[in-house]
């Protein structure tokens, strides 16, 4: 599943190919994504208009045109790439075509992604309740600690809640908790302040490292025929249930927390 680093890498990959260019047409071959794509609205808003800017908010990509925005989410399996007219594949649902022949092509086999239009981004239902960006200035251990008070929810769910902080998915939550020595099922309200300082630091470090590693796949966004491959992670705990902990050789345990698979080292990660 595309996580924040993949979305950020996608942004950096497509930005130089679409910003400041004018849209000639929008072709929608399949409009049944997570929500129906408002095809004629998007076509009307973008035709002969320039893409002024592209930003990321959480895992949403925001293409700005005339102060309004196309909101794109990659869902479970979506990807964007720069392409040409040829080589349309089965799950290539949407093309944004530019005057100079560039095509921004959206592929999404499982169709959980979204393409929506907003003339009032701050009040959009997908964005208005989002917490701070983990790589922004408002995210730190003190912030997490303050919000955690009296919360009985497992800390893993707490940091994966997009109202608390955006873009910390299952992989990054698991890895950051391992790096911080916190057991994922610990009650958020019982984890001490100094542990939150470490946790916030680890979340930032892991996300930054993944974005940096993702830079090596940037060329995949313009390959035309291939979908951009999401980069391989160097994972220490996620998906390693039953294997030895790299630090202490204890067997990594699996546990379901809030319907999601979790993995942790019973020796390195402490319960609070």
Note the residues at the interface with Zn ion (CB under 5 A). 245, 247-248, 250, 265, 267-268
Query: Kindly report the CA angle at 159 between 158 and 162, in degrees rounded to 5?
Result: 90
Burial of 146 (0-12, 13-18, 19+ CB in 10 A): exposed
- Indicate the residue among 45 and 253 with the shorter CB distance to Zn ion: 253
Nearest residue to Zn ion, scored by beta-carbon proximity = 245
CB of residue 153 to Zn ion, shortest distance in Å = 25
CB of residue 215 to Zn ion, shortest distance in Å = 30
Tell me if residue 260 is catalytic. yes
* Dihedral sign, Cα of residue 148, residue 238, residue 230, residue 73: negative
Tell me if residue 266 is catalytic. no
Given 21, 111, 208, 260, the catalytic residue:
260
Tell me if residue 81 is catalytic. no
Tell me if residue 2 is catalytic. yes
- Alpha-carbon distance of 166 to 168, in angstroms, equals 6
CB of residue 183 to Zn ion, shortest distance in Å = 11
- Indicate the residue among 40 and 270 with the shorter CB distance to Zn ion: 270
Given 45, 57, 59, 236, the catalytic residue:
59
CB of residue 264 to Zn ion, shortest distance in Å = 9
- Alpha-carbon distance of 30 to 32, in angstroms, equals 6
- Indicate the residue among 7 and 263 with the shorter CB distance to Zn ion: 263
Give φ, ψ of 149 to 5 degrees: -55, 130
Q: Which are the contacts of 53, defined by CB distance < 8 A and separation ≥ 6?
A: 19, 63, 64
- Indicate the residue among 153 and 267 with the shorter CB distance to Zn ion: 267
* DSSP letter assigned to residue 110: T
- Indicate the residue among 70 and 179 with the shorter CB distance to Zn ion: 179
CB of residue 245 to Zn ion, shortest distance in Å = 3
> Would you state the structure tokens that stand for residue 134, as one six-digit string?
């983990």
- Alpha-carbon distance of 260 to 41, in angstroms, equals 37
Q: Are the C-beta atoms of residues 84 and 17 closer than 8 Å to each other?
A: no
- Indicate the residue among 142 and 244 with the shorter CB distance to Zn ion: 244
List Cβ<8 Å contacts ≥24 apart for 52-56.
Answer: 52/19, 52/20, 53/19, 54/11, 54/14, 54/15, 54/18, 54/19, 55/11, 56/4, 56/7, 56/8, 56/11
CB of residue 267 to Zn ion, shortest distance in Å = 4
Q: Catalytic residue numbers?
A: 2-3, 59, 260
């Amino acid at each position: 599943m595309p996580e924040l680093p993949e979305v950020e890498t996608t942004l950096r990959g497509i930005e130089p190919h679409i910003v400041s260019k004018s849209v000639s047409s929008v072709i929608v071959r399949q409009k049944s994504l997570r929500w129906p794509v408002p095809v004629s609205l998007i076509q009307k808003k973008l035709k002969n208009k320039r893409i002024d800017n592209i930003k990321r908010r959480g895992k949403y990509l925001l293409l700005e045109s005339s102060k309004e925005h196309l909101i794109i989410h990659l869902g479970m399996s979506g990807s964007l790439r720069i392409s040409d007219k040829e080589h349309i594949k089965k799950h290539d649902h949407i093309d944004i075509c530019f005057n100079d022949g560039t095509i921004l092509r959206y592929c999404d086999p499982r169709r959980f992604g979204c393409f929506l239009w907003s003339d009032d981004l701050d009040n959009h239902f997908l964005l208005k309740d989002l917490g701070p960006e983990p790589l922004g200035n408002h995210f730190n251990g003190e912030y997490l600690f303050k919000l955690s008070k009296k919360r009985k929810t497992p800390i893993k769910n707490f940091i994966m809640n997009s109202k608390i902080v955006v873009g910390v998915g299952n992989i990054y939550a698991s890895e950051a908790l391992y790096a911080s020595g916190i057991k994922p099922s610990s009650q958020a309200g019982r984890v001490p302040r100094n542990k939150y300082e470490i946790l916030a630091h680890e979340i930032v470090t892991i996300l930054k490292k993944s974005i940096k590693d993702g830079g090596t796949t940037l060329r995949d966004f313009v390959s035309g025929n291939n979908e951009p491959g999401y980069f391989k992670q160097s994972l220490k705990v996620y998906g390693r249930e039953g294997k030895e902990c790299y630090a202490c050789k204890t067997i990594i345990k699996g546990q379901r927390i809030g319907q999601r698979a979790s993995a942790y080292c019973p020796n390195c990660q402490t319960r609070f």
